Amino acid sequence: MTLLSKPLKLSLWQLRGVKVALHGVILAWLLVTFYAGINDNLGADPVKALIHFTGIGALNLLLLTLLISPAARYLPAPALMRLRRMLGVYVFVYAFVHLLTYISFELQFDWSLVVSEIIKRPYITVGMAALLLLLALTMTSPNRVRQQLGKRWQSLHNTVYIALLLALLHFSWSRKTGLQEPLIYWGLALIILLPRLQNFRTRRGKRKN
């Protein structure tokens, strides 16, 4: 079932325009927010606001990246698939800035304290695990690397679902009070992942038959 009677086609220039617009919005969103934080325009605790902004931004971008494939299929609009790698890279950028903000402003680059926090605080441990998975996915995203890895590439990039679950767990544990916002994100993730799980079961059933 598709939403459009004909596939939505984008010319090369239209696709480039969409990419430029996304680059502009995602980068401007980050830069403007940090500018506001530096100028003390993010409330009583700008450091906390920046940490939350970058973390939730990475999670939003990750969910958006995972929406690309079903959107390309159900619209249908196959050209959307050419946006997935770019968005995936920005997921890592936001997640890395999230960590860097925490290390620089909260821990003051005290590396012994950084290691201690990663080991002793479970929510930071799972957050680091998610970040390392995102790093591996980002480093192997170029087409040249994909060709070199062959079938292993898809297996590796399926770990994006593990990264999502770890990120959600990190977000949930990091909330000292109130789980309403994390529950909303868990619900969105479930909606995105259920069709993939159903497709996996269907393919597995066909192989057995």
Residue 49 has pLDDT above 60, yes or no: yes
pLDDT (average), residues 193-197: 80
Question: What is the tens place of the pLDDT at every residue in 86-106?
Answer: 999 999 999 999 999 999 999
Distance CA 125, CA 120 (A): 8
Q: Domain extents for the chain? A: 17-201
CB atoms within 10 A of CB 128: 18
- Residue 208: the pLDDT is 58
pTM of the full structure: 0.92
Quote the crossing angle between the two packed helices 12-38 and 84-101, to the nearest 10°: 10
- Residue 7: the pLDDT is 76
Residue 204 has pLDDT above 80, yes or no: no
pLDDT (average), residues 200-208: 59
Tokens (6 digits) for 89: 């890279």
Q: How long, in residues, is the chain?
A: 209
Burial 15-39 (b: 16+ CB within 10 A, else e): eeebeeeeeeebeeebeebbebbee
Question: What percent of the chain has pLDDT above 90?
Answer: 72
Contact of 17 with 25, CB cutoff 8 Å: no
